[in-house]
Structure 1
């Protein structure tokens, strides 16, 4: 009896096991069907964002940088007491709050606490003092030092409070505090030579590596004091050839390209995997003319060049209709902008002006620019336009760093080899000083500033200095109106156009913004 009972139990167990396996197989088929028909396969989140830009980077020293691409990389790693929102208005960053005395001579900042630099050093008032003293004392830091020579004294009432007193009123000083990024005091004291190559800041990303001409990588700083989820690594690649940038975006080799070449916009707009953004800007495109040397020391020659060049055609041909002609020395988005009577193309008038200047048959000259394809196209356009009035233009293109060295390496106007330079300039909409003084004040000749036209008008200098020393906005507007009228008439530039910025982003990328100045902000970049 015991054996028969055991046999029955065994059969029951086997039957149950078979039934369970069958049920399990049915469940597996159901799950498999759901995966194939309804669910997408899961993939690991990407950890590296590649950004392809049009030019190389010059320097990572925030106190001596003038090019947009270098500034774009720095903005993800470095921060100032103040900063700027998407419209160019001043906001608090490392400063929790600030106040300005009634006479606009004393600026007091209350600082955020608990912030660390990427090397572990504490951010505090002493760190700010070390940075500002570096800008004040190091004469090689010319590009971003405006206003700091006016500092009379720096006081530290407490660990997280700093007071700056000026010798005289300087109306754009808050903007200068926003532009001046704060780097680790340890790097300033112990490794100053490394700052242009690998800066140490407080930003969302820390420096990774820089292989000149190939790439520059930044890495997420996991102890960042700010909020937000960000991609682990961002690699910037200089790709001057516009077609190559577009190919990188379409294949997914790059998650972001800036700018999208005008001629390729329709091509990328039709790709469902790409988002194309267009942003009005403050970027003024122009040809800087060396007014110090013959034949360009004669304003009639410079005016002739402006009448020879068709600005509407420039927008249509070079920018594919993106932008507007530059009808002043600043963009229409910049405060105190005043529209001027534009130099409408008039070939006969241009020839007559050249004849009056003593060049009835024209002359030979050269134009400099970087190697990216958009710049080459612009220089070729200028070359063709000036040919109509008998001026033969030789194009000389150089890698960005070499070009910068050639231009800003000139210690005096006599040293300058530059004749014409195809270039652009941008400023925050609220910063008319930065849109004018570095470009037209006689104190801003290279290497001290970007007045590469060597424009020298003492009355314009006086108006600029006065505008910077007062807080009366109506008077400032009057002065900047006179500045615009005078400089535009003197024509130290060929006034071309104001860009509309176009950049492309893969559809799985978010948090990338281009500011009206042309700066690429990737601080909050991530994959969706």
Structure 2
């Protein structure tokens, strides 16, 4: 359905769209905003309802704020809407003191009568954890990122102690909880706006006509064309230098790289590695790169007759030539994955090595009773990602490698993995080429959502793997705040994965971003785009 969000914006119509012919108009557009080009279409403007994509990765930091944010250098939680917090001695009660004078967006849909307070925080999180909450089932009632970590099982209550203090009570100690609140998913919504929509009989507008406290507000949305954000003049950290930001989400016409070269885009998010030589050395552009908190891997369905054998899974791991993957798919911009944790993680073990040994792989297959091999399907996504710039090519290389040891791989292109069917116990998939992008700096965010027993019921544990010792190790790791002990426990968990091999780590991708050289203040993070509140243009 074609949806338009109409707001009164003085003199901005058309300035940032391709095709501005007058030089004066173009100069005005340059001084008043910029065009961001990147993959993806939003299905919602509320990141609580997503597990990634444009809404969570980029729009969230523009439209909303969180209680905490991740420090761009240390990746540790720091103050945002919460100016301070206290943790009880048993590690199960967190009390936050909120900033005062934080204004919500104004629009033709809503005019706030008060500043942000504890009621807004309570509303935002009770919606997630309480099935009887009036908004819990609105917009589908699915909260995939929070479900992946069993957030509703962790948080037993959220209550307002007074106007500016909020208390969270947990079912168990979890030192990663602060990092969870700092992710782009843990946004704060307006309870006053929600109540107004509920009374009007249009509660779904909470997620399609967003109101937050971020540096920009939604001004216009034309599906498959553009998203326009306008400056939030009452932003608590001061108004942004840029009057507006336009997201070009059109799929017609020339590609995003061509638009960058012709000046139709000011920022190109996540260019594929093969595009980089075109912009490197061009004085019109600046290229930013950093190792991502991500991993590409193969999930092996441990209920499959052959893949249920540990020796077979070990053989597949040994048969894959990661060097060829890095050369042919990542063009030398990636790093081989020795575990799910990337080198940026503080729990990463630099002593782990990858091994490529087709002869040993064939011997393990024979030992497991598959001397003549077997056939499997490999489900492959269609779109490139930060952790895998060319899934199809990756699949073809894996197909060739496994063919050398007698495993016949049938590549099945698929846009997305049906997590609902996996959650219901559907074993129709054999192997899935997939990956993960961390949402905070804690190692738990790589391991718990993907491989714990509970993750089988959320649809994220594609391997259908459950190991109580693995789960116990992770639970011990989040119950202590001693980093050395936590690191040892996470490395023990990785050793369990090495021995059981429910997933095959392949590579860690490097994130890239190309911008017009005149733009300043545009920063990258391993967890998605940072706020555009400090972006300006210098000529």
User: C-alpha separation between the residues in 2 aligned to 1:505 and 1:376?
Assistant: 28
User: C-alpha separation between the residues in 1 aligned to 2:127 and 2:512?
Assistant: 37
Query: Equivalences for 1:489-508 in 2 at 5 Å?
Result: 489-508=499-518
User: C-alpha separation between the residues in 1 aligned to 2:521 and 2:413?
Assistant: 34
Aligned partner (choices 139, 142, 157) of residue 140 of structure 1: 142
Aligned partner (choices 362, 371, 393) of residue 409 of structure 2: 393
User: C-alpha separation between the residues in 2 aligned to 1:65 and 1:345?
Assistant: 37
- Contact 2:66/2:182 (8 A) holds in 1: yes
- Contact 1:228/1:524 (8 A) holds in 2: no
- Deviations, residues 309-356 of structure 1 (Å, cap 9, x unaligned): 111221122111112111122112112222464342111222222333
Query: Equivalences for 1:84-483 in 2 at 5 Å?
Result: 84-87=70-73, 88-118=75-105, 119-121=110-112, 122-138=115-131, 140-144=142-146, 146=149, 147-179=151-183, 180-189=186-195, 190=198, 191-238=202-249, 244-339=255-350, 341-359=352-370, 360-372=372-384, 374-399=390-415, 403=416, 406-410=417-421, 412=423, 414-427=425-438, 430-445=441-456, 448=458, 450-483=460-493
Q: Does 1:43 align with 2:27?
A: yes
Shift of 1:292: 2.7
Shift of 1:437: 0.4
Deviates more, 1:175-184 or 1:62-71: 62-71
- Deviations, residues 269-300 of structure 1 (Å, cap 9, x unaligned): 12111111111222112122222333322222
Write 1 or 2 for the structure with the bigger share of helix.
1
- Contact 1:98/1:109 (8 A) holds in 2: yes
Q: Which residue of the partner structure matches residue 50 of structure 2? A: 65
Q: Which residue of the partner structure matches residue 37 of structure 1? A: none
User: C-alpha separation between the residues in 2 aligned to 1:419 and 1:340?
Assistant: 31
- Contact 2:68/2:181 (8 A) holds in 1: yes
**What is the RMSD of the two structures over their aligned residues, measured on CA atoms?**
2.8
User: C-alpha separation between the residues in 1 aligned to 2:77 and 2:413?
Assistant: 37
| Structure 2: gaps of 5 or more residues | 1-23, 132-140
User: C-alpha separation between the residues in 2 aligned to 1:429 and 1:41?
Assistant: 41
- Contact 2:256/2:268 (8 A) holds in 1: yes
User: C-alpha separation between the residues in 2 aligned to 1:42 and 1:183?
Assistant: 36
Shift of 1:240: 8.4
User: C-alpha separation between the residues in 2 aligned to 1:492 and 1:260?
Assistant: 31
Would you say how many aligned residue pairs link Structure 1 and Structure 2?
Answer: 483
SS of structure 2 residue aligned to 1:113: coil
Q: Does 1:83 align with 2:69?
A: yes
- Deviations, residues 394-431 of structure 1 (Å, cap 9, x unaligned): 333344xxx1xx42222635225333332221225631
- Contact 2:51/2:144 (8 A) holds in 1: no
User: C-alpha separation between the residues in 1 aligned to 2:42 and 2:390?
Assistant: 17
